[in-house]
Structure 1
Amino acid sequence: MQTASASRWRSVVNTGTRPAKQATAPAAPARAGLGAALARRKPVERLVAEGGTGTGGTLRRSLGMWQLTMISIGATLGTGIFVVLGEAVPKAGPAVVISFVIAGFTALFSALSYAELAGTIPVAGSSYSYAYATLGELVAWICGWCLILEYGVSVAAVAVGWGQYLNELLHGTLGVTLPAALSAPPGGGGIVNVPALLVVLLAMGFLLGGAKESARANTVMVAVKIVSLLLFCAVAFTGIKSGNYAPFMPLGVGGVSAAGATLFFSYIGFDAASTAGEEAKNPQRDLPRAIMLSLLIVTVLYCLVALVAVGAMPWKAFGDVDATLSTIMQQVTGQGFWAVLLALGAVVAIASVVLTVLYGQTRILFAMSRDGLMPKVFSTVHARTGVPRANTVIVSLFCGVLAAVVPLGQLADATSIGTLFAFALVNLAVLVLRRRRPELKRSFRTPFSPVTPLIGFGLCLWMMTSLEFTTWMVFCGWMAVGLVIYFAYGLRRSRLARPEPEK
């Protein structure tokens, strides 16, 4: 549906400038040239007016605040604790707890910016759409391309970890262990990671049923994972040895910083609710609340579990085991039952991360496709289910194959750098939108702006510098591929490259 306000903006969509305040004033003339095309912005009113619309159908507004919060928790809680903790502890030692706090603190500043923009521009594209309204098309493309790396690759990374806990569960219940050739990727001692592929395909099946149905399944899985982590804390607490905390920071501040950058991967899910802006019943009210509440819950649980884990097992042992929390449970109790129970919780928990992050990936591609920057197939909505069906299948198959053949560590770091870059842009977008469009109604305002967004921006850049050189090379290569695609396809096919017909 189109509104009068959106129609008013069509006359200036190619200029990227605000319309004159007087209704009778003539529209600004379109500017020519490559520079103008790269800097063209999509007006907020037009973004909102086009919300929900796709080729062949529309997304359905069926999600309330609680469901949106569960989407963010589902996309976040479990990834760092169940999977990446075992890789972060060897970098920081017992001080990994501080690393979680640093990563969460960094995420908080960006979460505040996300909350403001999600309430102001409640659309499916998340930070891609926010950048399009404030920083121009080229920056929006770069942001969207980073989100594809963030969401798509993190699906694969989490799926790899899911296979580790599935093996633990099968061994504890049936005495069966999947052969390494079929449960690990090349370079990790195997040929293909079948469990990782399987969990992505299962998530795809849920998503094809509809957003509301997927949200219900996710809520159940989130409840299971929270109970599992609280159970771990209660049982593993009995095995804490004070000597395991000394020395507390054996690898120095550099190790804590490096672990924090890796663990930032654990917080990427808090922005998942913003990708559901076009399927929320009351997005202006509920999206900011869901983002902030989910970040608070996961940060508290992460720090609590990490503190108990490093107290119950020497930090040097973390790099030698898979399914870390299950291993700790078995060592503490001397019984396999508790480890199996936790492995069951982890299998369910990590599956919900795959489900919700995959959901976010499809909605970002939906928004980019609707703007003409991606092929139309990604914005084709099934009339009966209200789901971008072809989009979901294509993304799921891509992520599934990636999960089956790429080792976890490389995936996690690649996801972190894409996330940090996108979050940095979101902090800038808040400042730009405050300056260009101060009159817009904001259901949530970032406190102490512009200081807060600037701190968020600086922290994101600082954590990016803590990542390894190889990760930067992968990121630069990914950006180079993205720019080639944009200049070869998106620049010419963008809907802002031509005026919208009046309706």
Structure 2
Amino acid sequence: MSETTVSLTPKLSLTSVVTFGLAYMAPSLVMVIFGVISAASGGTAPTAFLVATGAMFLTALSYAKMARHYPTSGSAYVYTRKLLGSPVGFLVGWAVLLDYLFLPMVAWLVQSIYLNAQFPAVPVWVWMLLNAGLTTLVNIIGLTLTDRVNKLLTGLAVFIVLLFVAYCLVHLGHHAPTSYTRPLWNSGSSLGGISAAAAIAAYSYLGFDAVTTLSEETRDARRTIPRAVVLVIATGGLLFAAVAYIMQLVHPGGLFDDPETVAYTMSIEIGGQTFADWTNMAGIVGGFASGLAVQLSSSRLLYTMGRDGVLPQRFFGTLHPRTKTPVLCLLLTGAMCLLGLDISLATATSFINFGAFLAFTAVNVGVVVHFVRNRRAGVTKVLGYVVAPALGACVTVYLMTQLSVVALTIGLCWLAAGFAHLLWLTRGFSRPTPELSMGETPDGTEADRTQSPVEA
């Protein structure tokens, strides 16, 4: 082994990490999908968001626990590798890789569609190249610049969402609602409808786990990352529920001419055409911030797997000596935008959730395994390390069963390809799965990385 000459540098604060997580989830997303959630829940969108928040919060707690015990980049890939075995960790990392490779492309495609709607003279493919190019450039220059740009754009996106809420409140001042409880439960509500809507809303929370990929670039990661995971899911969930409640007061019930354009038509109703055009900017600004956060976390997972020798180390496992960023990983994720030049948004998003829910399930199971290994006693330990993650696993397995046949087919085929790659790496399991050599601290948690991995 040789000593590492370049390594990730801890620069991020709690505020920075939480902001990256919120950017990943996109604060304006609640406005985009409100109509769909409201229609599915019978006009109780805020209740559906609250149920989704509670359901995903269980998995967030599991990620927080694992981030405290294993404060290294790699997220679910590292946690499952340490607790469920290297082969399982490899397959989970491989499954998540499908999401992380294509998520930046999806983020840029969504933003490009918004920009094309705002400036139709410029085609979507031009916006795709511009978005991917600018995002990649900012991420390559360095984490400090990425952090500053992300804070600025996410703050602006949240401001526009809050401005929209303010206009809604002024509108309600002139058109008082007949009931303030109807958005939470009404005669058209049902547990089945709310549960189905909550399952749809749960997809909006994907990304809270991505902050764990920043562990090695976060100051005092053992404390900061667990707190950030919980704060991201809690802040994002409460924001989604609050905005949905106000929108549901403005438009009671779940019947719409077009559920997918409710935010735009509502903006015209409460503020006029000019205000609606500016509200559309929330999606555009938030889209760029989301693209930054998604590409940042994607490149860190690729780097970690490359550093471990699971992916070709010479390409994926290197950092630029000056910027200390995985430049080649960033260029690869940036180049993925070329696949989005001739693909629909529905197709692009049809398969990216398989790996996420598989990873969520694996991390929840890993928490239970950690409890069993350490024989922790006490009621609170049982609740936190067995009951909550078990419930979380049930939720994520259920969500996985709700994916489309196309998503499941592509996900399973990708997983099969990963298994074939694992067989090749281990020569039919006659060799150990490539992984980084790490020390263990006295309490059983993972120590900081001090050595480079063995060449694959």
Which of the five TM-score ranges fits, normalised by the shorter chain?
Answer: 0.7 to 0.9
The answer as to whether partners of 1:90 and 1:318 remain within 8 angstroms in 2 is no
The answer as to whether partners of 1:79 and 1:266 remain within 8 angstroms in 2 is no
Deviation at 1:248, TM superposition (A): 5.1
- In structure 2, runs of 5+ residues without a counterpart are 439-452
Tell which deviates more after alignment, 233-242 or 126-135. 233-242
Does residue 235 of the first structure (1) align with residue 160 of the second (2)?
A: no
Identity %: 24
Does residue 139 of the first structure (1) align with residue 88 of the second (2)?
A: yes
User: Over residues 408-435 of structure 1, what are the superposed CA-to-partner deviations in whole Å (9 max), with x where a residue is unaligned?
Assistant: 2344442333222111111111121233
Q: Secondary structure at the match of 1:464?
A: helix
Q: What's 2:446 paired with?
A: none
Q: What amino acid does structure 2 have at the position aligned with 1:226?
A: V
Q: What amino acid does structure 1 have at the position aligned with 2:330?
A: T
The answer as to whether partners of 1:74 and 1:218 remain within 8 angstroms in 2 is yes
The answer as to whether partners of 2:40 and 2:254 remain within 8 angstroms in 1 is no
Does residue 226 of the first structure (1) align with residue 175 of the second (2)?
A: no
Rounded to whole Å, the distance in 1 between the matches of 2:366 and 2:133 is 35
Does residue 495 of the first structure (1) align with residue 431 of the second (2)?
A: no
The answer as to whether partners of 2:104 and 2:333 remain within 8 angstroms in 1 is no
User: Over residues 176-196 of structure 1, what are the superposed CA-to-partner deviations in whole Å (9 max), with x where a residue is unaligned?
Assistant: x247xx33xxxxxxxxx4424
Q: What's 1:470 paired with?
A: 406
Q: What amino acid does structure 2 have at the position aligned with 1:457?
A: A
Q: What amino acid does structure 1 have at the position aligned with 2:22?
A: I
1:86-235 pair list within 5 angstroms: 86-170=35-119, 177-178=120-121, 182-183=123-124, 193-235=125-167
Q: What's 1:457 paired with?
A: 393
Rounded to whole Å, the distance in 2 between the matches of 1:445 and 1:154 is 35
Deviation at 1:263, TM superposition (A): 2.3
Deviation at 1:211, TM superposition (A): 1.4
Rounded to whole Å, the distance in 2 between the matches of 1:405 and 1:416 is 21
Q: What amino acid does structure 1 have at the position aligned with 2:145?
A: E
- In structure 1, runs of 5+ residues without a counterpart are 3-49, 171-176, 184-192
Normalising to structure 1: TM-score of the pair?
Answer: 0.76
The answer as to whether partners of 1:265 and 1:413 remain within 8 angstroms in 2 is no
The answer as to whether partners of 2:73 and 2:215 remain within 8 angstroms in 1 is yes
Rounded to whole Å, the distance in 1 between the matches of 2:70 and 2:348 is 30
Match of 1:417 among 339, 342, 354: 354
Distance 1:155 1:95, change over 3 A: farther
Does residue 294 of the first structure (1) align with residue 229 of the second (2)?
A: no
Q: What amino acid does structure 2 have at the position aligned with 1:472?
A: L
The answer as to whether partners of 1:372 and 1:494 remain within 8 angstroms in 2 is no
Q: What amino acid does structure 2 have at the position aligned with 1:57?
A: V
Match of 1:354 among 276, 279, 291: 291
Q: What amino acid does structure 1 have at the position aligned with 2:61?
A: L
Rounded to whole Å, the distance in 1 between the matches of 2:419 and 2:108 is 28
Q: What amino acid does structure 2 have at the position aligned with 1:460?
A: T
Q: What's 1:271 paired with?
A: 209
Tell which deviates more after alignment, 152-161 or 110-119. 152-161
User: Over residues 86-126 of structure 1, what are the superposed CA-to-partner deviations in whole Å (9 max), with x where a residue is unaligned?
Assistant: 54444334233233222211210111111111111111101
Q: Secondary structure at the match of 1:58?
A: coil
Distance 1:301 1:320, change over 3 A: closer
Normalising to structure 2: TM-score of the pair?
Answer: 0.84
Match of 2:256 among 300, 313, 317: 317
Rounded to whole Å, the distance in 2 between the matches of 1:261 and 1:222 is 26
Rounded to whole Å, the distance in 2 between the matches of 1:481 and 1:247 is 46
The answer as to whether partners of 1:113 and 1:446 remain within 8 angstroms in 2 is no
The answer as to whether partners of 2:111 and 2:288 remain within 8 angstroms in 1 is yes
The answer as to whether partners of 1:91 and 1:258 remain within 8 angstroms in 2 is yes
Deviation at 1:452, TM superposition (A): 1.0
Distance 1:317 1:407, change over 3 A: farther
Q: Secondary structure at the match of 2:74?
A: coil
Q: Secondary structure at the match of 1:317?
A: coil
Q: What amino acid does structure 2 have at the position aligned with 1:495?
A: P
Q: What amino acid does structure 2 have at the position aligned with 1:341?
A: W
Q: What's 1:363 paired with?
A: 300
Q: What amino acid does structure 2 have at the position aligned with 1:465?
A: T
The answer as to whether partners of 1:257 and 1:466 remain within 8 angstroms in 2 is no
Distance 1:351 1:129, change over 3 A: same
Match of 2:344 among 385, 407, 426: 407
Deviation at 1:446, TM superposition (A): 9.0
Q: Secondary structure at the match of 2:206?
A: helix
Tell which deviates more after alignment, 77-86 or 362-371. 77-86
Tell which deviates more after alignment, 256-265 or 267-276. 256-265
User: Over residues 445-494 of structure 1, what are the superposed CA-to-partner deviations in whole Å (9 max), with x where a residue is unaligned?
Assistant: 89632111111111111222233333322322222222223323476684
1:368-387 pair list within 5 angstroms: 368-376=305-313, 377-387=315-325
Rounded to whole Å, the distance in 1 between the matches of 2:121 and 2:223 is 47
Match of 1:69 among 18, 36, 39: 18
Q: What's 1:303 paired with?
A: 241
Q: What's 1:390 paired with?
A: 328
**Over aligned residue pairs, what C-alpha RMSD do you find?**
3.1
Q: Secondary structure at the match of 1:448?
A: helix
